[in-house]
Amino acid sequence: MTANTSTASAVIQASASGVAKGAAANIPPRRMDFEFSESESPRYFYGNDAFLSHFWNTFSSLLPAGESFFVQAVRHYRDQVTDPVLKAQVAGFIGQEAMHSKEHLAFNTMIASKGLPMEELQRDVSWFLETIAKYAPKSLQLAATVCLEHYTAIIAEQLLREPEHQRMLGDFDAKKLWLWHALEENEHKTVAYDLYESTVGSYWLRAGTMVPTTLILAVVLVAFQTRMMAADGQLFKLKQNAKGFAYLWSRKGLFPRLAPQFFDFFRRDFHPSQHDTDALLMEWKEKLLGSEGLLKDSSFAKKAKAAA
């Protein structure tokens, strides 16, 4: 069994029991069943830019194994939870993350069909995270999950808030995937944090873990994108790549604008709910899942309409 097949099997099984509980906690696992077509999806789906598209491809390559790692880290502690609300939220978190893994596997398979090394990148990150899961203390694994969930929450919020960011995704299937994922990341952004606080609770472990987590994530992203760009013959197109790099990392670039939210994490009294996204979530649930929403033809929307 390949690492990708193993990941898919594990995460789909993980979601099965959490659907009803997650829905009750307003964290419903939604099965989208996106059908990504190699012929209908442009090679450079983000702003028709190779550097930027491969950045998001690289990010997606981390997600199937990464989401599975989160599920395992959270599942280890869920039996210690006595609060029924948090128990239900944990079930919803597990279900949503399982579906994210499933859909990003489908997206990554489509990207691989274009001759890009997605399978190799997924294999390597799976090996790395399986090694961490085998040898690192469970408390550290949950702390790392909290750190990475902070990243995904603030990046997802930025996508939902910034029309230019959305416009760069075009009108392709990739846009549906990333917007749906962003919505759900903000729905469950407090869960791993609250679980950590109720079980482990160490400020110094939480804050201290963010530093190596950030460094490792940066190294992996750079190394993996370099491999992706080289495989696509884009690595030495310096002028083009400098423009893409500036879009992400210049002083007013996409990610430096997130610095205040990122550094909030190091406050002792920080909680993810302090980044208020309630109104944003209501807006995007209608935009995505409403009767005329972008995902109105998804499996989840069809089943919800049939049950109404």
Q: How far is CA 63 from CA 151, 254, 259, in A?
A: 13, 20, 22
pLDDT surpassing 50 at residue 305: no
pLDDT of res. 27: 93
pLDDT grade for 41, boundaries at 50, 70 and 90: confident
**Domain annotation covers residue 307:** no
Cβ neighbors of 117 (< 8 A, separation 6 or more) are 227, 228, 231
The Cα–Cα gap between 275 and 81 comes to: 24
pLDDT of res. 20: 57
Helices 191-199 and 138-161 pack at an angle, to 10 degrees, of 150
What is the percent of the chain with per-residue pLDDT over 70, rounded to a whole number? Answer: 88
**Domain annotation covers residue 28:** yes
| Range from 79-88, 104-113, 290-299 carrying the lowest mean pLDDT | 290-299
pLDDT of res. 38: 77
pLDDT of res. 91: 95
Q: What's the whole-model pTM score? A: 0.90
Helix (H, G, I), strand (E, B) or coil at 79: coil
CATH number, domain with residue 159? 1.10.620
pLDDT grade for 24, boundaries at 50, 70 and 90: low
**Domain annotation covers residue 19:** yes
What is the percent of the chain with per-residue pLDDT over 90, rounded to a whole number? Answer: 80
**Domain annotation covers residue 306:** no
DSSP code, position 2: -
**Domain annotation covers residue 308:** no
pLDDT tens digits, one per residue of 115-167: 999 999 999 999 999 999 999 999 999 999 999 999 999 999 999 999 999 99
Helix (H, G, I), strand (E, B) or coil at 32: coil
Count: domains in the chain: 1
C-alpha closest to that of 156 among 186, 123, 131: 186
If phi > 0 it is left, if psi is from -120 to 50 it is alpha, else beta; for residue 270 that is: beta
Range of the domain at 139: 3-301
Average pLDDT over residues 51-68: 97
Q: Among 16-20, 28-32, 206-210, 302-306, name the most confident range.
A: 206-210
pLDDT of res. 19: 57
pLDDT tens digits, one per residue of 97-129: 999 999 999 999 999 999 999 999 999 999 999
C-alpha closest to that of 146 among 215, 205, 206: 206
